[in-house]
Amino acid sequence: MIPSSFPDKAEMARLTARMLLEIKAVDFNAAEPFIYSSGLPGPTYVDCRKLISFPRIRGTLMDFLTCTVLRDAGFEAFDNVAGGETAGIPFAALVAERMGLPMTYIRKKPKGYGRNARIEGVMTEGQRVLLVEDLTTDGGSKISFVNAIRETGASCAHTAVIFYYGIFPDTEKTLGDHGVTLHSLCTWHDVLAEAKVSAAFDTATLTEVEAFLNDPRGWQAARA
C-alpha cells in the first residue's frame, strides 16, 4: 500500500539518522579507523543490512523511501522495481510491494551457467525501472546495475537508496552523466547532526568525524 502522508525531506533525514543510530547500524571510530573497500581508512561505518531485522524501523524507512521517489519522480513513473545484489534485494521487494509493481533483481555479474543472466525475474523492453539499493558512496556500482537494466531494452533514470554518503562531490554528477537521478533519505552529515544532539559518541570522536566529512580525501591522505 502506498503511504498517504509523510514528513518533509528534512524531518525524514533526521528520523532516518536517528533510527540508524538507535539500532547501531552506524559506528564512529576515529582511534581505529575502518578500512573501506577502496583500501583507504575512514572513521565512519554504516551497515543498512541490519534494518531488515527491525520491522518497525524497516517499515517506516520503506514508507519514507517510497514517498520520496513518488514525490520527486512521479506517481506513474515506473513499471518495475529492481534491487541490486545483494543488499538492495529486500528493500526493492518492500518498495515494489508498496508501489504495486513487479520486482526483479540484478546480479553483480552473470552467474556463469544456465542462461548466464544478470537479471532475475521478468524485465521487459520498454519498462521504466527504478533501481533500489541500500546505499551509495561514489555511484560506481549503480552504473553497472543501470547498464545491465538497459541491456534488456528497459530504461532506468532513477535510483533510490536509504543512505547516501554525501561527502564525495562527483557522485551525483557521475550518475547524472549516465542519465540517472539519485534519491536518498539521509547522509553522513544528517547522522553526525543527530549524533551530536543525542550525544551518541564522545566529543573528540564527533570532532574527528566532522573533520573527515568536511575533507575525506585529505583526512585519508594524512593516514594512508
pTM: 0.92
List, in sequence order, the alpha helices (H) in 119-187: 140-151, 171-177
User: Which positions ≥6 away from 224 have C-beta within 8 Å?
Assistant: 40, 41
Q: What's the number of domains the chain is made of?
A: 1
What is the CATH number for 105?
A: 3.40.50.2020
The answer to whether position 208 is within a domain reads yes
Q: pLDDT tens digit string along 58-71? A: 999 999 999 999 99
What's the pLDDT at 115? 65
Sequence-distant (6+) residues with CB within 8 A of 25 are 19, 46, 47, 48, 50, 51
Q: Is residue 45 part of a domain?
A: yes
Q: Are 46 and 163 in contact (CB under 8 A)?
A: yes
Residues 80-96 pLDDT 10s? 999 999 999 999 999 99
- 134 within some domain: yes
**Whole domain around residue 204: which residue ranges?**
9-219
